């Protein structure tokens, strides 16, 4: 892998990130995307929800071969195209996209959520179960002295959120808080469950 070239590409892409709300309000629909694996097969799922009621509107998956190893800081090259393929297969056009991964809380400011948002030209939010970089202070995530995200706590457990593209820090937090019933925001939780369901169905059919 030519990581030097990928780092250069990430640095160039990060210059194009917009951290302000570039969508109509009120938000009517949101979508969550997540990927799971079976051997070298990748299953990416997308679930569209009504933002107000959190009822499911549409669910889709795309299955393909794993083409890039898991390397922290380079998840966009592993899962980005799969998520983009699922998005483009949807009949609905969600207002805001939730991605299981980081947004600007990334060493070069271009996590999976930022990458997908930049390619699709859509507002995106990164939702992660663990921290990739930065320091936490008063439930805010900082990198090089600049706030890049939030920590949301549900009991003793927490998730890390950061804007990906075309959305502000403030609105990212507001939208995520509205969608949390359990620890993980519903768009991501349901996408994760749907990807796992399709994976299990494929196992049973073999």
pLDDT at 205: 66
Q: What tokens appear for 173 in the block?
A: 């937090």
In a domain, 33, yes or no: yes
Backbone angles phi, psi at 197, to 5 degrees: -65, -45
| pLDDT at residue 52, as a whole number | 98
Distance CA 129, CA 152 (A): 10
Alpha-carbon gap, residue 146 to 11, rounded angstroms: 17
| Domain carrying residue 199 | 25-204
Is 153 inside any structural domain? yes
How far are the Cα atoms of 15, 109, 125 from residue 4, in angstroms, in the given order? 17, 16, 26
Tokens 């196992």 correspond to 203
Asked whether the beta carbons of 9 and 118 are under 8 A apart, the reply is no
Is residue 10 in some structural domain?
no
Extract the runs of DSSP E, i.e. beta strands, from 81-206.
Answer: 96-100, 124-128, 135-137, 140-143, 146-154, 157-165
Helix axes 112-120, 75-89, angle to 10 degrees: 40
Q: Is the residue at 11 inside a domain?
A: no
Say what the pLDDT of residue 83 is. Answer: 98
Pick out the chain residues at pLDDT < 50.
none
| Residue 114: per-residue pLDDT | 99
Domain membership flag for residue 55: yes
Spatial CA neighbour of 93 closest among 194, 24, 35, 195: 24
Q: Is 126 a domain residue? A: yes
- Residue 183: half-sphere exposure toward Cβ, Cα within 13 Å: 11
Quote the CA–CA distance of 82 and 68 in Å, as a whole number. Answer: 11
φ/ψ of 43, rounded to 5, equals -120, 115
pLDDT tens-place string over residues 131-153: 999 999 999 999 999 999 999 99
What's the rounded Cα separation, in Å, for the pair 2 and 6?
7
| 194 located within any domain | yes
Q: How many domains does the chain have?
A: 1
The DSSP H or E segment spanning 192 is: helix 186-204
pTM: 0.96
Mean pLDDT of the chain: 96
Residue owning tokens 């299953």? 43
Tokens for 21?
Answer: 């709300």
**Domain containing 148 — which CATH number?**
3.30.2170.10
Q: Which two tokens stand for residue 159?
A: 């998730």
Is 6 part of a structural domain of the chain? Answer: no
């Amino acid at each position: 892998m030519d990581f030097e070239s990928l780092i250069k590409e990430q640095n160039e892409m990060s210059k194009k990130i917009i951290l302000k709300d570039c969508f109509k309000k009120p938000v009517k629909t949101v979508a969550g995307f997540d990927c799971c694996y079976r051997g070298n097969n990748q299953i990416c799922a997308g679930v569209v929800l009504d933002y107000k009621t959190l009822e499911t509107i549409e669910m889709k998956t795309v299955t393909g071969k794993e083409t890039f190893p898991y390397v922290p800081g380079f998840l966009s090259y592993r899962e980005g195209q799969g998520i983009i393929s699922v998005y483009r297969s949807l009949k609905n056009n969600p207002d805001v996209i939730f991605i299981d991964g980081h947004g600007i809380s990334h060493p070069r400011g271009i996590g999976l959520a930022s990458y997908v948002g930049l390619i699709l030209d859509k507002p995106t939010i990164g939702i992660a179960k663990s921290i990739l970089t930065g320091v936490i202070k008063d439930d805010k995530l900082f990198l090089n002295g600049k706030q890049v995200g939030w920590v949301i706590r549900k009991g003793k457990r927490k998730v890390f959120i950061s804007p990906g593209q075309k959305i502000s820090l403030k609105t990212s937090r507001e939208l995520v808080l509205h969608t949390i019933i359990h620890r993980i925001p519903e768009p991501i939780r349901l996408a994760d469950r749907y990807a796992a369901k399709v994976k299990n169905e494929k196992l049973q059919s073999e």
